[in-house]
Amino acid sequence: MKKILLFMAFLYCNFLMAQNGIIVPPENVTKSFESQYSKKSVVWSIEYGKGDDVYFEGEFTDDKKQKAIVLYDSNGVFKSLKTQMTIVKLPLKSQNYLKKNYPAKGKVKSVGKIFYMIDDKNNETYVAVAKKDKKLYNIVFDKNGEYIKSIEIHYL
């Protein structure tokens, strides 16, 4: 009976440790990251795309001490880089659009995090996370600050 209980405890502990497991991407992904961002500490997560597509998302702190998120496909090919920034670094057109369409209500800000994004085709965009009517949106702007689209964020 003691052996069964000991075995069950061992199994249970292993199950708990697996819940907080560390994701280790394929070697080609880590090599790509190290070649672009040497000496950076990164935390990896997995993103699933359409069909069988698997992407590896690495979160790290960039040279400006800002949060940065890089995305690679399973072959280690760079897909995008997203770095956090402040609203004052957005182009003026974007700032004005956000003030007009997502105004603060009292002391509560309606615009949260703001990111600068660049993809594998060198397309530059800005994304602002904003709240309106109790819903969250990603507001996308081009590199000149022109509004492109709003995407409602749905949670599972």
Taking only the tens place, the pLDDT of each residue in 29-62 is 999 999 998 888 999 999 888 888 899 999 999 8
Query: What is the predicted pLDDT for the residue at 4?
Result: 55
CB 60 within 8 A of CB 68: yes
Give whole-number Cα distances, 147 to 28, 55, 96, 110, 135, in Å. 36, 28, 11, 17, 19
* 24-81 and 86-156, same CATH topology: yes
Average pLDDT over residues 82-93: 93
> Cα–Cα distance between 139 and 112 in angstroms, integer?
11
Query: What is the predicted pLDDT for the residue at 6?
Result: 45
Where are the domains positioned within the chain? 24-81, 86-156
CATH number of 24-81: 3.10.450
- CATH class (in words) of the domain with range 86-156: alpha beta
